[in-house]
Each structure stands twice: as C-alpha cells, then as structure tokens.
Amino acid sequence: MVDVIVFGSSVRGKDKPGDLDVCVVWQGKAGRTPGAIDLSYEELFSPAFLAREDILADGFSLRLGKTLSEAFGYQTFHSFSYSLGKMDYNTRARFHAAMRKTVNELGMLKLKALVLVPVEKVERFREFLTYWKIDFRESRVLFPGQEYKFLVK
C-alpha cells in the first residue's frame, strides 16, 4: 500500500456524513480492501476512472497529511454562482447581511454573485444557500498556489 485517501462529504465538511469515502492506492497491482476503492496510481490518474476528479480535487492523503491538490501546488475551491431571483427588497437585505457574516466566518472569497469556497467549508455554504432557497450552480476550481495568493491580497 502506498497511500490512503479520504474524499467525499466528510472532507467537504458535512456535519454528519452518511459514509466515509476511502481510496487505497497501491504500487503496481491493486490490493483488496473491503469497503474501499482499490487502485494503483496509474488507475487513479486514468480518465476512465470516474471518481478521479473528486479524489484529485477534494481527496486528503493520510500519508502526506494534506490534500492531493495541495501536494501538486494547487488550492481547491468550489465556486458557487447564484441568483437572488425575485427576492423582495427586505429579504435581499437580510440575505446580504447574512452572506457578509458567512463569508467572514468561512474564509471565502466573494466576487459579486460568485463565491469561492474552500473545500472543507463547501457543505456548510451549500446548506446556507439552501436555507435561503437560493438557486445556485457549483463547480470545482483549482488555482495554482501563487495565483490564489494574488487573489486574496
């Protein structure tokens, strides 16, 4: 065994995840680990492996003690774009006040109606938008470490 990678909702900060997603990486031929994804590094990086994006973007390596994206020099975020739709003025004002507080608490980067959320805070922010009944779109974003430092200054 070369590494054990934890990924999924537990890494994204879900309070009570229903399961624990684990990938065991082997050198050469994969082993047999009950309840886990078993693969070699070659299989992990193969475009044919459907969970590849989840593991590479959000996966936490127990061997390295950090996310795989960090190990490769990237910062992973989930971007949320949202629309307030036909929200009335008072509700919109309350939402913006709550959003400012949430952005500060979760250490997010907000640009107009786009928010970049660190991986470990994704579930909490998703719950926040759901609570407010906000329509949103979400996708993963990888920033090279230096570009991210430029954005937050």
Q: What is the pLDDT of residues 1-31, one digit of tens each?
A: 788 999 888 888 887 878 888 888 888 766 6
Are 84 and 94 contacting, i.e. CB atoms less than 8 angstroms apart? no
Order of strands, sheet of 109-111, starting from the edge strand that comes earlier in the sequence: 109-111, 114-118, 74-83, 135-144
Q: Tell me the domain boundaries of the chain.
A: 3-68, 74-152
CATH class for domain 74-152?
Answer: alpha beta
55 pLDDT exceeds 80? yes
Q: Strands 3-7 and 21-26: what pairing?
A: antiparallel
Cα angle 30, 36, 41 (rounded to 5 degrees) comes to 35
115 pLDDT exceeds 90? yes
Task: Name the pTM for this structure.
Answer: 0.75
Q: How far apart are CA 74 and CA 91, in angstroms?
A: 37
Output the average pLDDT for the chain: 86
Of 26-30, 49-53, 77-81, 101-105, the range with the lowest mean pLDDT is 26-30
Of 31-40, 85-94, 96-105, the range with the lowest mean pLDDT is 31-40
Among residues 34, 29, 24, the alpha carbon closest in space to that of 59 is found at 24
Q: What is the pLDDT of residues 121-151, one digit of tens each?
A: 999 999 999 999 999 999 988 888 765 454 4
3-class SS of residue 42? helix
Q: How far apart are CA 6 and CA 138, in angstroms?
A: 21
